[in-house]
Amino acid sequence: MKAKCDYTCWTHGARRRTTRRERAALAWTETPTRLSETDIDEAEYEILEAAFTPEEQVNLTLAIGAINLWNRLQVGFAVPPPFPECAYDA
């Protein structure tokens, strides 16, 4: 529950400090990452298209896919994080 609260608090606070493109990138990151949980809404495509060129959309989506793959490999092989748990408390 704490992680969800941290994420929610971060996203609400970030709205004041991020650009429209950064918010669109963060929103799009959640979309392909959570495909198993929900379908992609047409509004999500519209936000992406309003903020990025077609080439940027592809590059962003490829980067998201690479990071998701890396995370799945790390979890699948039980690789511990490279830094101590206390680093999150800073």
Q: 33, 42 in Cβ contact below 8 A? A: no
pLDDT computed for residue 81 by the predictor: 78
Report pLDDT for 2: 45
The stretches in the chain having pLDDT less than 50 are 1-6
pLDDT in tens, 2-11: 444 445 555 5
pTM, full prediction:
0.70
Entry field: residues in the chain: 90
Structural domains of the chain, ranges and CATH numbers in brackets: 20-89 (1.20.1290.10)
Predicted confidence at residue 40, as pLDDT, reads 86
Classify burial at 18, counting beta carbons within 10 Å of its beta carbon; exposed 0-12, middle 13-18, buried 19 or more: middle
Question: Contact, 69 vs 77, CB < 8 A?
Answer: no
Write out pLDDT tens, residues 13-29: 556 788 999 999 999 99
